[in-house]
Structure 1
């Protein structure tokens, strides 16, 4: 049994999947029916989709080199994770027909398509993207019949800050990578595209998913708290000047000195807004996300600094 390793998982996901939070977990080796196996999980949350960063020149080059028969097929095949719904949103915003050939787009239509790629919010209605691997080989088909997908769907992701309907994948810009390493992977059939549902395997899958889920939940709660405190501070700052002026008129106090004192109190009360997270998620003084976590600064993840 040769696992990929948590560091390699984080490094690989960081290069391929854009995001703001990365976590990985490796379970200890276990056994099913006498066969050893090991489960590894990587998780990515947030970030800006690659389509938002594409330049017009790069788009033109992709359109010219594409062998897709329709523009809709081009979008689905070219941009990983977009899906049919995302492609339809892009085409509707660009006001371009779905069956138009990519190589026959006029310059004006290319401009509209490029603008739509950069402006349309693809995260709305987006569901978790599950990447399945067995002995480092990707499993691309029969996702519904795979123990990996079934365990991901049965995990309660609401506990970790994600929206999820019953018996379905959670919503949001989330990617989960699951790898099973074994001397004998129990596939459902000869095509080797889905892992069989053995209780021992599903247990290890669930524990690994819960491990990265807890780290994600801690991060999302911390981020929400920082955002909330920042909003509180903005409200304080909005009225501190008026309060200082009114008080100084009543008791003839020094308005500027009173303003500075009130400002200092506001900063202390909302000190949480000044918390910064380092790239390992360990800069927080009172909370630790654990090992094998990467947190990307908002400006690097393409998220901006606003709430």
Structure 2
């Protein structure tokens, strides 16, 4: 809050005491908070507010900053919300990753405001150009004076290399990136009457930077995970090509059938191995966790026929004209889970119309007899059979 504004309010105050002035003129200030402000300022709560001078107003401003107060009410602010930011970016851009955040409301000069941020990465975005910046104020896009805006200023001075983005020479990062910032307030501090850019207010800039750091950390985690998965996938590809050849040669030398190398591949890459055995109308599924952490996912069996005597007992639903049997699996490292059941009629007589689907696990971790993996709501078709 500005000193001049506070002095003007004090001069025009109709309340007989400073305490009642604070309670009735400011949001979220109650009797106890008003007494704390008066105590910090060294002014008696019973003092008439219209008799206070400049020095008293300065003391009150300092007290406002030192006393803990509740956040301003948000009913006067209109955020876009994280979900709508996500949906809007996904609709306009073909990207691989989107992170969004809505910050808690804050205050500048007595006015409540909040900042929302989003970052999108990858997909069809150009890789050798500077990031696209989307600026919004009270849900209205800011199309001009980008270089003069506080949003751009914060983006340029941040160290984006900390979040795995290129930033040659500083400034706006380079890469397949879209950065979005929305500032909502009852009084947006524009640079001019044209309302094309937001002024450089320290409180607002701190919140913008906080929002960008939050989504930046999510992006860094995603890129780190992507790099790890890429290395694992490359390792799996090399091993899955070499081991069958080695097994075949060893089988020829020993005059035996070559062993199944899929469990070995899963163990080397630290994945989850799914082995499905069928004997007439009997089905047995072996799940083995070769990773270093507890894995939890749902295993679905889609069958044309009903099953009998399942162990353990699954949940049952209908999906079109097929039965969906699902098991919620929680498996520790180096642990094996067995699922057994009997199908009405022979499995061979089903015409191959059955599907094994894993839901809630990374596709790159799965090795073996799986038709589809549902990872984060996105379907990844596999060709394991």
Q: TM-score, normalised by structure 2?
A: 0.49
**CA separation of 1:272 and 1:171: change in aligned 2, threshold 3 A:** farther
Q: Which has the higher contact order (CA 8 A, sep 6+)?
A: 1
- What is the aligned partner in structure 2 of residue 86 from structure 1? none
User: What does residue range 46-195 of structure 1 map to in structure 2 within 5 Å?
Assistant: 46-48=122-124, 123-195=126-198
Q: Where is the helix percentage greater, Structure 1 or Structure 2?
A: 1
Q: CA deviation at 1:272?
A: 5.1
Aligned equivalents of 2:263, 2:257: Cα separation in 1: 14
Aligned equivalents of 1:296, 1:147: Cα separation in 2: 36
**CA separation of 1:298 and 1:146: change in aligned 2, threshold 3 A:** farther
Aligned equivalents of 1:139, 1:177: Cα separation in 2: 11
Q: CA deviation at 1:247?
A: 4.0
User: What does residue range 1-307 of structure 1 map to in structure 2 within 5 Å?
Assistant: 1-48=77-124, 123-248=126-251, 252=254, 254-257=256-259, 260=260, 262-271=261-270, 283-284=360-361, 297=378
SS in 2 for 1:170: coil
1:209-256 deviations in Å (ceiling 9; x for gaps):
111111111112112211211100111122213432454566x37351
**Greater than 6 Å deviation, 4+ residue runs:** none
**Residues 250, 258 of structure 2: 8 Å contact kept:** no
1:60-119 deviations in Å (ceiling 9; x for gaps):
xxxxxxxxxxxxxxxxxxxxxxxxxxxxxxxxxxxxxxxxxxxxxxxxxxxxxxxxxxxx
SS in 2 for 1:256: coil
Aligned equivalents of 2:124, 2:379: Cα separation in 1: 10
Aligned equivalents of 1:153, 1:223: Cα separation in 2: 26
Unaligned stretches of 5+ in structure 1?
Answer: 50-122, 286-293, 301-307
Aligned equivalents of 2:377, 2:172: Cα separation in 1: 25
Q: TM-score, normalised by structure 1?
A: 0.61
Aligned equivalents of 1:17, 1:197: Cα separation in 2: 30
SS in 1 for 2:232: helix
Q: Where is the strand percentage greater, Structure 1 or Structure 2?
A: 2
Aligned equivalents of 1:45, 1:214: Cα separation in 2: 13
**Residues 21, 295 of structure 1: 8 Å contact kept:** no
Q: CA deviation at 1:196?
A: 1.2
| Larger-Rg structure | 2
**Residues 129, 175 of structure 1: 8 Å contact kept:** yes
**CA separation of 1:44 and 1:247: change in aligned 2, threshold 3 A:** same
Q: CA deviation at 1:17?
A: 2.1
